[in-house]
Structure 1
Amino acid sequence: MRFAVDTGGTFTDLVVEDDSGLCRLYKAATTPHDPVAGMLDALSVAADADGRSLAEFLAGGNTLLHGTTHAINAIITGRTARTALLTTSGHGDILVLREGGRAETFNFTHEFPEPYIPRSLTFEVPERVMADGSVRLTLDEEAVLEHIERLKENAVEAVAVCLLWSIVNPAHELRIGELLAEHLPGVPFTLSHKLNPAIREFRRASSAAVDASLKPMIARYMSDLERRLREAGFRGRVLIVTSQAGVIDAADAAEAPIHIVNSGPSMAPIAGRYYAAIDSAAEDAIIADTGGTTYDVSIVRKGNIPTTRETWIGPQYRGIMLGFPWVDVKSVGAGGGSIASIDSGGLLRVGPASAGAVPGPAAYGRGGTHATVTDAAVALGHIDPAYFLGGAMTLDPEAARAAVERDVAGPGKLPVAEAADAILTIATENMVQAILDITVKQGIDPREAVLIGGGGAAGLNSVRIARRLGCRTLIIPETGPALSAAGALMSELKAEYHAAQVAHTDSFDHDAVNATLSALARKARDFAAGPGAGALETTITFKADARYATEVWEIEVPLREGSVSDAGALSEFVEDFHRTHETLFSFRDEGSFIEIVGWSASVTCRLSERKDLRLASPAGIKEKWVRNAWFAGIGWAETDVYRFETLKAGERIDGPAIVENDYTTVIVDPGASAERRPSGSLVVDVGQQ
């Protein structure tokens, strides 16, 4: 038995896969002050439903996969460790000066952002390594020891080390690491060349700073997580979802916590890719995961899940740069808990503020008073107040209508139903803009893609979103309410290794490049023999970070083999680069040579026999009934409501209709039709509005 837990901003999702391969979904309220408690609550709900004690239930599990927002929340809220930076003399302002970009070129009203590590905790070390790896100035170890004494005086809890050109010759960084371990025992540190051997110094320094700052807290979290799971009765392996759409052991996550900063959202595209392949013929897919707090959008392009190094937490250029690859996910503050209000100019706003899990929407009856997207859906009759979370939680429809009346209908001089519909319309527009932002920038026409709706709130307005985008097909997987957790069950143990090695296609050094690729391959094989031992299947793939010589930013291009053995292999790579560049930017420049600035190897180890997930169908449930619901252009109407699990493969329903199960409600708007597929998914032809 395997467990997958995704801790979101509002709910903690749990998918339990039994030994026969059938799955069950469960949800519990997230406990922001103690995320492990929310996980144990969800596991307790599952144990109760199975008729066993929590200890008995957990004892039957062999693997627990966990997606968490703990790391990114700590960065956003400033709860990271007190961290210092050691860097090369003359480069102490690297985190202050950044890369010089401006999101709004002529807007001078923004305050200049503070560096991630204060300048007062940045210490310059006398040393200098040149770009060719030669040592111009030997490391001054006495100066390092003096800095260590100052670190003690400043009660520093973590240290980041980023020296110039350590990616070519790491000797000085390694020696500083030895001195820190000896003279500052118990204080974790991160060496930039080991973590992120990238050429760009700011990104390397920033990633080292973020990683070091997270180490004390994530180490405690992972230790606490494993300890409490063991105490509760779990004896299996604990794996943590990474930002690169894979999983790693909890101990490895504690060693390099930057890998799990974007942990939760990275799993949705894994599940989305699977459902897009079996339920449609589309080459491209848009995966939209709607939670209570955020709307996370990712894409699958020709079967591949793109990653990006443009990883900013907060506004671009003014936020925090990770400089570390993660699955390209666009997140906006638009979810079931997004708060609606009329601003001073009389315009309706929805989000980014959220009612979250506590106190939650007004309908929750937990002290929340603001009108939210969930309240709007309740006011329209789209959500059954008596059947929220499968009846585990009863909503207050009068409180929902009152909140919509007070916050939107009254100020906007609208009937409550029209105001609630307007809330959903604005929420839809916010979500559409996020999708356009991530698709058009990567050469995807949303009209040619299939939309995958995941998350508990996805079904409320996914037909509207598909129509706005021009998508003809919407897929709501039966595991959709916990899409990220389902993706974790489909995921594989994964590691990526990077190396900086500059090469040019007009004077290609085959020996140097192949030596670099061989070293990366050895690291990948070592991982497969270590954490990946016993895997059912192991795959190693290679990529290059390349650009036209006149460009500033590089793109990732897969290598067909683990080497560039001869002129023929180089020609293949050149053509692959041109094709990738043309897909992304609509042009190729065959007259320019290509510059490669880095190489990487990815190793994936498949641990599970099964990848397809099917939900167990509960017995003795009602198949169809009627509910009064409101739809634009129709008004209030007696609407057919279907139970998701009881729809048979090939069964078709026409809108307006509602399809629901314990954890989601799918609105099939007028003019749309839906069909249950053998995979269990609900595939909706969105029709015309």
Structure 2
Amino acid sequence: MTDAQTSSRSASPVPGRGLRFAVDTGGTFTDLIVGEPDGSVGIYKASTTPSDPAAGVLDALSIAAADAGQDLATYLGRAEIMVHGTTHAINAIVTGRTARTAFLTTKGHPDTLVFREGGRQDAFNFTVPYPEPFVPKAFTYEVNERLLRDGSPHIALDEAEVIALIGELKAAEVEAVAVCLLWSIVNPAHELAIGRLIDKHLPGVPYTLSHRINPSIREYRRAMSTCLDASLKPIMGAYMSGLEARLSNAGFDGRLLVVTSQGGVMDAAHVAGMPVHLINSGPSMGPVGARAYAPSASSDTLIVGDTGGTTFDVSLVRSGRIPRTRETWLGRPLSSHMTGMPSVDTKSIGAGGGSIAWVDSGGLLHVGPISAGAVPGPVAYGQGGTRPTVTDASIVLGFIDASFFLGGRMVLDREAAVEAIRREVAEPLDLSIEDAAAAIVGLATENMVQAIMGITVNQGIDPAQAAFVAGGGAAGINCVAIGLRLGCHTVLVPETGAVLAAAGALVSDLMAHHQAMFHTDSRAFDIDGVNAMLEDLEGRCRAFAETTGVDPSAVEIDWSTEARYPDQAWEIEVPLRAGRFGGPDDVAALVTDFHKTHREIFAVEDPASAVETVGWNATVRCKIGADRPGRIRVPDSFEALARRPVYFAGTGWTDAVVHRFEALTEADTVTGPAIVESDFTSVVIDPDITARRDAMGTLVVDLRKVEP
């Protein structure tokens, strides 16, 4: 076991088959949570290997095997399921390593990817250029065809012309093809014909048809999701097959599942054919894990913050549901490309434990978005880092014990962290080293708070009425400070919070999302037409469920529609009470639910107005595991942790008691100033704040008696 690798201190697992693995590959660490046959869980971490993510996965599995006293092949042979969350797809897009992709579109519409959607970050700053189209104009090809909005042909598809065009694609050595034609979502005949011709005349080259991957209105979003999916197929197909082969060679013969952007999982082979679902897979599991661990929260709204080494991801659980959005950007909103696909609504900023603190030429302190990442990491890691990070500041303040990091298996260099902060921040700002470190953590906290405000207040959510769930290895450093700043009544730190996304993956469902477009109006609602479309969606859901091998009794379908007031530009998603409309009463219920949802999001409604429905969604969920990840197995005894001085802004150095997270019981109450520490996280309890553990093992921090 190397210095950068560690495991939970659990007792030896019960022998026998039935292990369930969930792996989340992050920017600094690869997290592994293992579900044991007796219902307990173990946590393991290994350094991420950016150049070879699969190596980090195998490293984490090797640590778990050693902890079980078994060789890797024997240990993997006991496994039933492995759920893998990966950033490989988004990394390929960001680094420009996607396939050489051709974009085929209706003649007269070659600029769909150029025009994008309107809007700027700064409406009056015209010096900031828009990004180049995702597929260059040189690889955009026009197809002489046209369907009308009712699906009737206006210009027939000339297959001989398409065959000639495919010859151009072959000459250009394209590696993937994206096909997005006007109104194919109403009549896919022309796209299907092009697909058959590609199969015949360009065999072996993957392609994506827009009506299959994203049958929704708005050409830019549909075209983008089609191009993204096609461009990722070669690299993700190779990654998935390579990962499966390496796991198989290591001894794993169970079922490999992959986390999707919708907050569920799919079989690896299935998702390799639809890789656009993987773009935002990492953050999607945070709210799933939070919902599983927070049943005792005194609020039906959870704000979920997942603090890793590189980013801070914030998401929501609202009335038990995890909100989704179609406005998912691949960078800054309005200044990058949009995926166009429904995904868990998350907001990510460059504020994690590895975020670098720096002072600009004007004397202004910044934290992030640049991160030290896994290589070289924070200065205190002793792996070549020279610029101070949030982790370094936390070590200087006493929030993190340099001798107990990762349970003492990785000793940190506190003096190196002190020197880096002195040189890079304290002296330029004429501050003491402690105040400089506190300023770094304080600014990181404020950045996180602003990210949370953007996803809560903008959706009509008052943070004061919500509980904040802290996930990620670095979450405990400032989760109480974030809760106080937001005015939340409670902060929840699950016992597996350091691997919250992996914990969510362990309890996630096999899931597939199907959608269709059907426009109707509450003033003349086409019940028969809607029901026929819903029946088709249900058929697709049932067909997916049959391929999973899951008992039909464990299959559920969630229904929703995308609706708007007449003449509104955008729709909102409204859950449906049932999968069919029986009559006018069901239509009236939909209208009522739309008004209520509109008021919750925008704080206004128009009860006298009609409602238009545009898109319809069916999400099939196949239960394959328990509703709860399980409790960490607690060793019989712990070494006591010594009190240590901790620096709080405004209070100064304070002698703080240090509690072992695992040793706390439901009868114990922690009163700050204190530190609650485990092998994987360090939770800072501010002065006069109290905390306790609930029946799920979650640390519940009560903020209601403290003024924000």
Matching residue's letter, 1:31 = T
Tell me what 2:686 maps to: 669
Matching residue's letter, 1:426 = L
5 Å matches for 1:174-323?
A: 174-278=192-296, 280-323=297-340
Distance 1:60 1:227 in 2: 17
Secondary structure of the residue aligned to 1:339 is strand
Secondary structure of the residue aligned to 2:548 is coil
For structure 2, the 5+ residue unaligned runs are: 1-18
**2:82 corresponds to which of 56, 64, 67:** 64
Distance 2:607 2:196 in 1: 48
Give the conservation status (yes or no) of the 8 Å contact 2:21–2:34. Answer: yes
Distance apart, 1:255 and its partner CA: 0.4
Distance 2:75 2:113 in 1: 48
Q: Report Cα offsets for 1:220-279 as digits up to 9, x if no partner.
A: 01001111111111110000011001000001110000111111110110111223322x
Distance 2:146 2:202 in 1: 24
Distance apart, 1:618 and its partner CA: 2.5
Distance apart, 1:632 and its partner CA: 2.1
Tell me what 2:366 maps to: 349
* Alignment partner of 1:110 is 2:128: yes
Give the conservation status (yes or no) of the 8 Å contact 2:503–2:629. Answer: no
Distance 1:422 1:538 in 2: 50
For structure 1, the 5+ residue unaligned runs are: none
5 Å matches for 1:20-99?
A: 20-99=38-117
Secondary structure of the residue aligned to 2:642 is strand
- How large is the RMSD of aligned CA atoms in angstroms? 1.1
Tell me what 2:601 maps to: 584
Q: Report Cα offsets for 1:545-584 as digits up to 9, x if no partner.
A: 1000121000011111111221111111111111111111
Distance 2:707 2:358 in 1: 29
Distance 2:626 2:263 in 1: 18
Distance 2:362 2:701 in 1: 38
Distance 1:21 1:536 in 2: 22
Give the conservation status (yes or no) of the 8 Å contact 1:494–1:604. Answer: yes
Distance 1:93 1:172 in 2: 20
* Alignment partner of 1:551 is 2:572: no
Tell me what 2:398 maps to: 381
Give the conservation status (yes or no) of the 8 Å contact 1:276–1:450. Answer: no
5 Å matches for 1:498-537?
A: 498-534=515-551, 537=554
Tell me what 1:140 maps to: 158
Distance 1:290 1:518 in 2: 42
**1:564 corresponds to which of 571, 578, 581:** 581
Q: Report Cα offsets for 1:419-466 as digits up to 9, x if no partner.
A: 101100000000000000000111110011000000000000111111
* Alignment partner of 1:428 is 2:461: no
Distance apart, 1:140 and its partner CA: 1.4
Distance 1:251 1:82 in 2: 22
Give the conservation status (yes or no) of the 8 Å contact 2:262–2:343. Answer: yes
Tell me what 2:8 maps to: none
* Alignment partner of 1:629 is 2:640: no
Secondary structure of the residue aligned to 2:103 is strand
Distance apart, 1:652 and its partner CA: 0.3
**1:660 corresponds to which of 677, 698, 708:** 677
Distance apart, 1:612 and its partner CA: 4.3
Distance 2:119 2:415 in 1: 49
Distance 2:32 2:565 in 1: 45
* Alignment partner of 1:600 is 2:611: no
Give the conservation status (yes or no) of the 8 Å contact 2:550–2:624. Answer: no
Q: Report Cα offsets for 1:588-647 as digits up to 9, x if no partner.
A: 112221111111111101012452421111233224421222222332233211111011
Give the conservation status (yes or no) of the 8 Å contact 1:630–1:636. Answer: yes
Matching residue's letter, 1:590 = P
Tell me what 1:468 maps to: 485
Distance 1:536 1:12 in 2: 34
5 Å matches for 1:319-334?
A: 319-334=336-351
Give the conservation status (yes or no) of the 8 Å contact 1:535–1:606. Answer: no
Moved more, 625-634 or 566-575: 625-634
**1:574 corresponds to which of 591, 614, 618:** 591
Tell me what 1:459 maps to: 476
Distance 2:46 2:485 in 1: 32
Distance 1:33 1:21 in 2: 34
5 Å matches for 1:441-452?
A: 441-452=458-469
Give the conservation status (yes or no) of the 8 Å contact 2:85–2:258. Answer: yes
Distance apart, 1:535 and its partner CA: 6.1
Matching residue's letter, 2:330 = I
Identity among equivalent pairs (%): 55
Distance apart, 1:104 and its partner CA: 2.0
Matching residue's letter, 1:656 = P
Tell me what 1:645 maps to: 662
Tell me what 1:130 maps to: 148
* Alignment partner of 1:477 is 2:494: yes
Give the conservation status (yes or no) of the 8 Å contact 2:49–2:55. Answer: yes
Q: Report Cα offsets for 1:340-393 as digits up to 9, x if no partner.
A: 011111111000000000000000000000000000011112111121112221
Distance apart, 1:533 and its partner CA: 3.0
Distance 2:151 2:145 in 1: 13
Moved more, 415-424 or 144-153: 144-153
Matching residue's letter, 1:65 = V
Distance 1:534 1:36 in 2: 32
Q: How many residue pairs were aligned?
A: 688
Tell me what 2:182 maps to: 164
Distance 1:592 1:373 in 2: 51
Distance 1:638 1:592 in 2: 62
Tell me what 1:155 maps to: 173
Matching residue's letter, 1:52 = Q
Secondary structure of the residue aligned to 2:506 is helix
Distance apart, 1:536 and its partner CA: 5.8
* Alignment partner of 1:360 is 2:369: no
Q: Report Cα offsets for 1:460-479 as digits up to 9, x if no partner.
A: 01111111101121111101
Distance 2:697 2:606 in 1: 46
Give the conservation status (yes or no) of the 8 Å contact 2:29–2:45. Answer: yes
Distance apart, 1:317 and its partner CA: 2.3
Secondary structure of the residue aligned to 1:522 is helix
Give the conservation status (yes or no) of the 8 Å contact 1:650–1:677. Answer: no
Secondary structure of the residue aligned to 1:321 is coil
Q: 1:59 to 1:393 in 2, by over 3 A?
A: same
Distance 2:669 2:168 in 1: 71
Distance 1:435 1:532 in 2: 39
TM-score, length of structure 2 as denominator length: 0.96
Matching residue's letter, 1:159 = V
Give the conservation status (yes or no) of the 8 Å contact 2:550–2:623. Answer: no
Secondary structure of the residue aligned to 1:277 is coil
TM-score, length of structure 1 as denominator length: 0.98
Distance 2:514 2:549 in 1: 15
Distance apart, 1:329 and its partner CA: 0.5
Secondary structure of the residue aligned to 1:645 is coil
Distance apart, 1:537 and its partner CA: 1.0
Distance 2:253 2:627 in 1: 22
